[in-house]
Amino acid sequence: MKKWIEKFLGGGKSRKGYKAQTDDLKSADIKRRMTLATDDQTSKEILYYLAEKDPSPKVRKAVAQNASIPLHVTPILATDREADVRLALAKRLVELLPDLTDDKHSQLYAYAVQALGTLALDEVLKIRIALSSTLKDHAHTPPKIAGQLARDVEREVSEPILRFCAALSDADLLDILKGHPASWAVEAIALRPVVSEPVSEAVIETDDIPGGVALLGNSGALMTAGLLQQIVEKARAYPEWQKPMATRATLPPSIAKELAEFVDASVRDILMTRDDFDPEDTEEIAAVFRRRLDFTQESEMNMEPVEKRVKKALAKGQLDEDMLSDAIAMRDSAFVNTAIAQKIGVPVEVVTKVFELKAPKSIVALAWQAGLSMRMALQLQKEMGYVRPQELIYPRDGTDYPLTDEEILWQLDFMGLKNQKKNY
């Protein structure tokens, strides 16, 4: 290591004496200065002077390519007015990284990272692309440089780093995802060889459809049970997520049963033919579809007014969340509105008006007053109130109402429902 440091500080023996080198440095003959610039035994002071002062870009480029380039001159070359000089320096610094990372706290390493940081912001696109394409799978990429390149506005620069660079930290990825990145950026992050649980959650929180599809199809994406639950809930509004969710290798049976509540026949067949579920789980999934089919057939055959249908179901003890979920899936909004109105004891027009407002807190309060679960409240927000994905209110800890009693009571008072008695 000592010999290597001496080499890059210009400490080796020169083929010419210092005076001869000085004479060549002062010469108007570019060939003599080029000889100095290319000789790995040239004094470090001479190389530094050539890099900073020589009028010929060919000479300065030769210094950048010199095997013994003094690293304390690299920040100067990184701002050279000639793009070819800067590009040559970028390639040379990348070649030097494996040796420099032996001592990341050295001044030499600091000089190299400083120069790379300047080049990562270079105004010439081809220089940034060259750095990105090389550093994306380089084992010694400095995390700081990876973070700079990952935030580049040009897709050709940032996408390779987002997709492949192992040096890019989770903190950088989370920060990028919070900044509302383009869809291709979300998808690139979702396709990384390993995606941590916090980053997977951040990808889903963007509500980016292609990004979600990519994440679900990525076996290297780690997901908690809570996140899978959130994805299933979002998949009602994002049909594109349903098939990759059904084919995900680590899908718990409980999540599959929830997915079965609303997917179409093609996704149902995928769930039914999985060989990693117990027969009991498969039968429960099949039962969901049979129940949904029975509701559809009964609705089509029953010509009675919706109010009478709801009262019959209530009298038989059948007006539960399963029936409401079936009605929502079958787009029988009249049945849903009437059923909730019946549970609360208000005219159906009151319930209809709440959904028309598309206000998530009001819908959550309405569901609470009707004695429904928070998960049903989420479904009502999505499929009856058509609340925008970014405004949806999700259950706390997967099942609990996230609003305080004061918040719910305020909403009920605002809707004129505060004194209504819950029928459950």
pLDDT in tens, 233-252: 888 889 999 999 999 988 88
Residue 85 domain-assigned (yes or no) = yes
For the chain, how many structural domains are there in total? 2
Q: Is residue 100 included in any domain, yes or no?
A: yes
Residue ending a domain, among 81, 96, 119, is: 119
Other residues' Cβ atoms within 10 Å of the Cβ of residue 134: 17
Is pLDDT of 9 > 60?
no
**What digits encode the pLDDT tens for the residues 28-67?**
899 999 999 999 999 999 999 999 999 999 999 999 999 8
Asked whether residue 371 is domain-assigned, the answer is yes
Percent above pLDDT 90 for the chain: 59
Residue 395 inside a domain? The answer is yes
Residue 133's pLDDT is 96
What pLDDT is recorded for position 248?
A: 93
The token pair that represents 378 in the structure block: 């989420």
Q: Are 316 and 287 in contact (CB under 8 A)?
A: no
pLDDT top residue among 105 and 76? 76
The CA dihedral of 32, 38, 42, 43, to the nearest 10 degrees, is: 100
Q: CA nearest 117: which of 142, 98, 95? A: 142
Answer whether residue 250 is part of any domain.
no
145 assigned to some structural domain: no
- Is 325 part of any domain? no
Look up tokens 């013994």; give the residue.
Answer: 68
Q: Residue 13 in contact with residue 74, Cβ under 8 Å?
A: no
Out of 119, 136, 156, a domain closes at: 119
Residue 159 lies in a domain: no
Mean pLDDT of all residues in 150-164: 97
Range of 364's domain? 333-414
Q: How many residues does the chain have?
A: 424
Q: What's the pLDDT at 26?
A: 85
Separation of alpha carbons 375 and 372, rounded Å = 8
> Confidence class of residue 299 from pLDDT cuts 50, 70 and 90?
low
d(CA 7, CA 151): 35
C-alpha–C-alpha distance, residues 215 and 241, integer Å? 10
- pLDDT of residue 272 exceeding 70, the answer is yes
The full DSSP string for 211-229 is HHHHHHT-TTB---HHHHH
State the Cα–Cα distance between residues 275 and 270, nearest whole angstrom: 10
Q: What is the arithmetic mean of pLDDT over 190-210?
A: 97
pLDDT band, very low/low/confident/very high, at 297 (cuts 50, 70, 90): low
* Domain end position, chosen among 119, 142, 174: 119
Residue 226: pLDDT band (50, 70, 90) is confident
**Mean pLDDT over each residue of the chain, to the nearest integer:** 88
Contact 168, 143 (CB under 8 A): yes
Percent of all residues in the chain with a pLDDT value above 70, rounded to a whole number: 92
DSSP state of 399: T
Q: Distance between CA 165 and CA 186 in Å, rounded? A: 15
Are 384 and 336 in contact by the 8 Å Cβ rule? The answer is yes
Residue 93 has pLDDT above 50, yes or no: yes
The CA-based angle 402-406-407, given to 5 degrees, is 55
pTM of the model: 0.71
